[in-house]
Amino acid sequence: MPIEFYCPGCGKLMRTPDATAGRKGQCPQCGTKVQIPISSVANAESASPAAASAAPAAPSAASPGAGTQIRFNCGACNRTLSVPSSSVGKQARCPGCNSVMQVPAASTAASPKPAAASAPAAPNQFTCPSCKKAIRIPASSAGGRGKCPHCGAIVTLPGSSSGLTPIGSSGLTPLPSGGLTPLPGGGLNDLFAELPGAGGAANDPFAGMGMDPLMGGGAPASFSPGNPYESSYAPSRSRSAGHEKKPKRSGLPWDRADESAFGSTVKMVLFSPTQAFYKMHRTGGLGKPLQFCISGAMLGTVITLAYNFAFQITMLLILISRAQGEVPLGQIALRVGISIGGGLVGGLIASAIGAVIGAFLYGGLFHLCLAAIGGANHTFETTFRVACYSLGATAMYQLIPACGGLVSAVSFTVTMIIGLYAAHETSGGKAALAVLLPGIVCAVVCGLIAFMLLSAFNLMGGVPAPPPGA
């Protein structure tokens, strides 16, 4: 005797052979995956006419007519959803929390007010315009502004439509037998084997969907209510290996305007450059890093001028001590004062202008080289900020007498390589090549020019001089 039971999705009476008892099958009417009972739960032949007619009538009475909308609340996030009546009994995904659920046979939520029917719903996912990473947000954050958790950029939330997107095809072809098609294998979790995001989990049908079924609210496990921009999506761009244990990008002390921000930032960049540029904000404007660069360059200039003036005054005192006769000390002191004052003012102005030009020149040149070799994972602003902090911090090596300039140049090159590696999260080889490539190209070009000039001089030297009077 065949087994008879009602489909839990659409309420249609199903018949299947006794041999399929305990196995899994798919309803040909609505596609719901169900477990076939061991014995019949609805016997149309033995039931009374009233009961037999009432049993199948219940789902049909609840089923909406063609072209209507089914409105119900998501069981995870309580969001009101609306889908076509043709999706009754099918599996669908909530756009607010990505929960997978079955569309009921009748509406369970109140119809919306006419005034709010045309209002656009808040988005649940969008791409950061700065770092191009996917961001998931709650519906209540629509139209607001916030900071991207990946790059720190301030962005505005766009709007998007609401509703469920039914999984799979909306038109299903009934099976020729009119009954259930048994699925291979056993176990209750086979019902979720084909759902997107299941990941083949044996005991968790929601594995891989970013959901915690024990949370009650149904929010993604990686979602933090305090930060609506936190995302559980993977970055849209690939990153090189070796950046897994990076610290959180909390910003440098200069970005946060901490107490003793300049000295703390210099210390981090010079002695812990990798950690410093891992923490550096990739975006946030050009003004703050440019101020740091100018401040460092001007302080380095003051140190250099102080050494020069001290040397000149020492030499002048030695000459005065060896001079014979009366020495006009007043005139000498006046000239020395004018020289020191003019040199200091001129040096500070020149260092500020040079810092601005150097920051944009190095930032643009290194970013161009990094992009050419495929290592620029972020915008020019990221490279510019690395150049500013590297220039401002390494200028402090001017404190070293005599060789401070050389040490500062070498340190800038090394710090710039580390900065590009950590800020762009690229490979060390690409970061080093991007910094060294301009120097290599310049050396090659200069070598070619020198070779051409030397060849021209050799050719000119082999031509005999014209005779006198010719």
Which residue is it, tokens 């039971």? 5
Q: Residue type for 319, please?
A: L
376, 367 in Cβ contact below 8 A? yes
Average pLDDT of the residues of the chain: 73
Q: Residue type for 428, please?
A: G
Which residue is it, tokens 């550096």? 280
- Predicted structure pTM score: 0.47
What per-residue confidence (pLDDT) applies to 1? 65
Among 86-100, 197-211, 315-329, 402-416, which is the least confidently predicted range? 197-211
Examine the pLDDT at 290 and tell me if it is beyond 50. yes
Q: Residue type for 218, please?
A: G
DSSP bridge pairs for 69 = 84
Please give the average per-residue pLDDT across 416-422, as a whole number: 93
What per-residue confidence (pLDDT) applies to 197? 39
- Residue 207: which pLDDT band, with cuts at 50, 70 and 90? very low
In angstroms, the CA 356 to CA 298 distance is 11
Q: Residue type for 93, please?
A: R
Examine the pLDDT at 148 and tell me if it is beyond 60. yes
Q: Measured at the alpha carbon of residue 363, what is the angle toward residues 360 and 366, in degrees to the nearest 5?
A: 140
Maximum separation of any 2 CA atoms in the chain, in Å: 139
Residues 369-405 pLDDT 10s: 999 999 999 999 999 999 999 999 999 998 888 888 8
Query: Nearest to residue 277, comparing CAs of 376, 394, 417?
Result: 417
In angstroms, the CA 110 to CA 129 distance is 37
In angstroms, the CA 470 to CA 468 distance is 5
In angstroms, the CA 342 to CA 50 distance is 109
- Specify the pairing of strand 69-73 against strand 125-127: unpaired
Instruction: Provide the 8-state DSSP code for 122.
Output: P
Q: Residue type for 361, please?
A: L
In angstroms, the CA 82 to CA 438 distance is 59
Examine the pLDDT at 116 and tell me if it is beyond 90. no
- DSSP notation for 231-277: --SPPSS---TT-TTPPP----HHHHT-TTHHHHHHHHHHH-HHHHH
Q: Measured at the alpha carbon of residue 253, what is the angle toward residues 248 and 258, in degrees to the nearest 5?
A: 125
Among 70-79, 124-133, 288-297, which is the least confidently predicted range? 124-133
Sign, Cα dihedral of 217, 223, 229, 233 = negative
Q: Which of 151-155, 231-235, 375-379 has the highest mean pLDDT?
A: 375-379
Please give the average per-residue pLDDT across 308-332, as a whole number: 81
Give start and end residues of each alpha helix (H) in 45-161.
Answer: 49-62
In angstroms, the CA 75 to CA 221 distance is 16
What per-residue confidence (pLDDT) applies to 321? 80
DSSP bridge pairs for 247 = none
